[in-house]
Structure 1
Amino acid sequence: MFRRRTQQAVDESPATANDAKSGGKGRPTPKRRDAEGRRRQPVTAPKTRKEAYRQLRERQAAQRARAQEGLARGDERYFQPRDRGPVRKFARDWVDSRRIVSQYFLPFSVVILVLTWVPFPNDIKQYIYFSVITVAWPVMMVSVLATAIWVGWRVKKVATEKFPGESLKGIGFYAAMRALQIRRLRFPKPQVLPGGRPVPAPAPRR
């Protein structure tokens, strides 16, 4: 009788172990410290100062590339604080969508300087001085001043109607200074063309 019970216990014990093994994970649960250690990636510190400087330059170059791409897209996260916000964006788009007299002030000044440096004959030089410096230069200065005042007043007036409750501090001066710059040198870059059409996206590189 005892021999039969012992034999049954021996026969049933492997089955129980196999059931437990098939139903469970079949291995001990790893410790949290060991699991975190396997997830961590090995960090290799620079061995020399030259290698550390090279890694720093690579990181800075990647950051500059991301910033340039963000500026080209018009992402305000990469703008200066003075260029952020819907009011400032409206002022930029308003100026960029128009051909304003003041934006030709710098090219006109360069032309005048070139004309004064060219060694013309005396009679031609006197005519240039009279027609350009005595007449055209004052007319251009008055036009630029009048345009700056009109741009600042107009942008502030429209922004007041379009953005009630928003801070408009310095918005007129901001728009007037942008209108004074050459279009290709404006920063942030224009997002609209003259006439109001959006700037076309650059073609993908091949």
Structure 2
Amino acid sequence: MFGRKQDPPLTTPAPTPEQTPADEVRTGKGRPTPTRKAAEARNRRPLVPEDRRAAARSAKQKVREQRELEYQAMRTGDERHMPLRDRGPVRRYVRDYVDARWNLGEFFLPTAAVFLVLQMVTATSAPTVAFASLVILYVFILAMIVDAWLMWRGLKRRLRAQFDASQIPTGMAMYAVLRAFQVRPSRLPKPQVKHGQRPA
């Protein structure tokens, strides 16, 4: 009778008609939190493009642009866009060493062409000359192989003095020999040093 009046039970006000379900999930960012289903649908990408021909053309165009970029980089010496097989200080040192040297291998193609033509011309009229030209060509090939071996021997010694063993990739001998056998104007990447200009 003299006790305190019991407070009325707390009730949650009913949502007004203007309040939408999106308002109930609003966050402090000012927008509704997306449901998992909506997020997954937004992030889903089709495995197969709708227009396969357009996708193939786009892929070919990207490959063509990448090849052109690599080709221009090999012509100018820009290592940032060169193929991976030509990047790095060790490969650059190998190229400079080979390009600074006079290699018998770089004269193989013109020499072989001359001797083969001489052999064909003299095969019937002068068999002795044809046989001699063939022998000389084989001697030149043997000398070219010896010269390449001597080149790699000196280059390997310089690489070990210039770089740590862990920095020298495998296959540098073949990389150097194949470059030495190419005619100098056709080498890619283009030579960046002159004959006699050995790398430090």
Structure 1 length normalisation: TM-score? 0.60
Residue matched to 2:106: 103
Q: RMSD of aligned C-alpha atoms?
A: 3.1
How do residues 92-171 of structure 1 correspond to structure 2 at under 5 angstroms?
92-118=95-121, 120=122, 122-124=124-126, 126-134=127-135, 136-165=136-165, 166-171=167-172
Aligned pair count reads: 153
Distance 1:61 1:177, change over 3 A: closer
One-letter code of the match for 1:196?
Q
Secondary structure of the equivalent of 1:106? helix
Quote the offset at 1:89 in angstroms. 0.8
2:99 is equivalent to residue 78 of structure 1 = no
One-letter code of the match for 1:158?
R
Conserved? CA contact 2:75–2:188, under 8 Å? no
Greater helix share, structure number: 1
For structure 2, the residue ranges without an aligned partner over 5 or more in a row are: 1-29, 32-50
Secondary structure of the equivalent of 1:154? helix
Distance 1:57 1:170, change over 3 A: closer
Secondary structure of the equivalent of 1:192? coil
One-letter code of the match for 2:151?
V
How do residues 18-97 of structure 1 correspond to structure 2 at under 5 angstroms?
61-97=64-100
User: For residues 123 and 182 of structure 1, what CA distance do their matches in structure 2 show?
Assistant: 32
Residue matched to 1:194: 195
Distance 1:71 1:108, change over 3 A: same
Secondary structure of the equivalent of 2:196? coil
Distance 1:173 1:64, change over 3 A: closer
2:179 is equivalent to residue 178 of structure 1 = yes
Identity level (%): 34
Secondary structure of the equivalent of 1:122? coil
